[in-house]
């Protein structure tokens, strides 16, 4: 993050921004993290935010960096130390180094509320850490005791070709869809809906046939129901698909998308993957001229 970018930041403390000097947290090689971790937990209990350490701010403008203390630990050690002050630990909490400064990125936590080192619950209101009322704490506990299913990854995107005289007769892809329960409750009822361009469907892949729901424009729609519960923080690979591309279906390969919807008791998570941007052969998009052009086409 360069100075020109820093100048465009709203460098005023607020609900999603806080500033600390190194002297506020690290004196004579000893950490003093009570106030810092109180702010982190307050942000996580609200809507998240960023904490800037070592940034010199005057009249809401960036003026430079503090001198980073000698023996200041690595990002990993510092992050682990912060997490020891937080109950429960905050998932996706990260630290980024910018020259001599640090930025702690605090997520809007999925497992709130988080208690601070002084055994109180705080929320971030404007630029202050405010003690939460009992009913607010109870509400957060009830909200966080839900399942939270997300599509987290698409893997095995490398194509496997069938060659003919030095060109691709056909190329097949075997993508795998991974989902995860990021919530704090077991999810028993969920289903995955996958829309695949019809021209890329392998009709010989019989595993998918029983899940065919219907057709929409030029896509096959498949619905795959849950077969077993998904526990807290558990990751699951739902199904390995088969997509095939040849010269005749290359237009659909280059222009279409693979659309995925994940339905659960708490809502819908959906992602769309443009196929030509995700699927590859040896790290690159296979070009149409690399495919055999059959006479009957």
Under a CB-based contact definition with an 8 Å cutoff, are residues 287 and 164 in contact?
Answer: no
Q: What is the pLDDT of residue 221?
A: 96
232: pLDDT strictly greater than 50: yes
Homologous superfamily assigned to 3-144 = Schlafen, AAA domain (3.30.950.30)
Mean pLDDT, residues 220-239 taken together: 90
- Per the document, the length of the chain is 297
Residues 263, 204: Cα–Cα separation, whole Å:
27
Quick one: angle between helices 75-84 and 34-45, nearest 10? 80
Q: What is the pLDDT of residue 2?
A: 47
Under a CB-based contact definition with an 8 Å cutoff, are residues 27 and 102 in contact?
Answer: no
List the chain domain ranges: 3-144, 149-290
Which strand (E) or helix (H) includes residue 104?
A: strand 101-106
CATH architecture designation of domain 149-290:
Sandwich (2.60)
Identify the band that residue 1 occupies on the pLDDT scale cut at 50, 70 and 90. very low
Q: What is the pLDDT of residues 111-146, one digit of tens each?
A: 889 999 899 999 999 889 999 999 998 888 876 666
Q: Which residues contact 30 (CB under 8 A, 6 or more apart)?
A: none
Beta bridge partners of 277: none
158: pLDDT strictly greater than 60: yes
Q: What is the pLDDT of residues 265-274, one digit of tens each?
A: 888 999 999 9
Sheet containing 176-181: order of strands: 149-155, 176-181, 235-240
Residues 240, 254: Cα–Cα separation, whole Å:
21
**3 state DSSP class of 277:** helix
Q: What is the pLDDT of residue 49?
A: 93
Whole-model pTM: value is 0.56
């Amino acid at each position: 993050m360069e100075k020109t970018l820093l100048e465009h930041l709203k460098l005023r403390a607020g609900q999603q921004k806080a500033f600390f000097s190194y002297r506020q947290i690290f004196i004579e090689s000893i950490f003093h993290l009570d106030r810092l971790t109180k702010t982190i937990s307050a942000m996580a209990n609200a809507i998240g935010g960023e904490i800037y350490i070592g940034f010199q701010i005057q009249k809401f403008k960036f003026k430079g960096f503090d001198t980073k203390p000698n023996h200041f630990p690595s990002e990993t050690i510092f992050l682990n130390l912060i997490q020891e002050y937080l109950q429960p630990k905050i998932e996706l909490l990260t630290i980024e180094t910018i020259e001599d400064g640090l930025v702690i990125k605090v997520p809007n936590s999925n497992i709130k509320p988080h208690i601070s080192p002084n055994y109180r619950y705080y929320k971030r209101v404007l630029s202050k850490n405010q003690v939460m009322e009992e009913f607010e704490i109870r509400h957060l506990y009830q909200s966080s005791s839900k399942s939270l299913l997300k599509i987290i990854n698409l893997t095995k995107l490398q194509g496997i070709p069938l060659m003919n005289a030095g060109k691709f007769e056909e190329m097949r892809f075997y993508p795998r869809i991974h989902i995860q329960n990021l919530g704090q409750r077991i999810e028993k009822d969920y289903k995955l809906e996958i829309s695949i361009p019809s021209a890329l469907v392998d009709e010989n892949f019989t595993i998918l046939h029983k899940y065919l729901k219907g057709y929409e424009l030029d896509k096959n729609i498949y619905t795959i129901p849950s077969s077993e519960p998904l526990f807290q923080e558990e990751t699951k690979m739902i199904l390995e698909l088969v997509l095939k591309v040849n010269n005749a279906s290359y237009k659909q390969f280059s222009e279409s998308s693979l659309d995925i919807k994940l339905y659960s008791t708490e809502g819908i998570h959906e992602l769309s993957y443009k196929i030509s941007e995700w699927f590859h052969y040896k790290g690159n998009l296979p070009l149409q001229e690399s495919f055999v052009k059959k006479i009957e086409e």
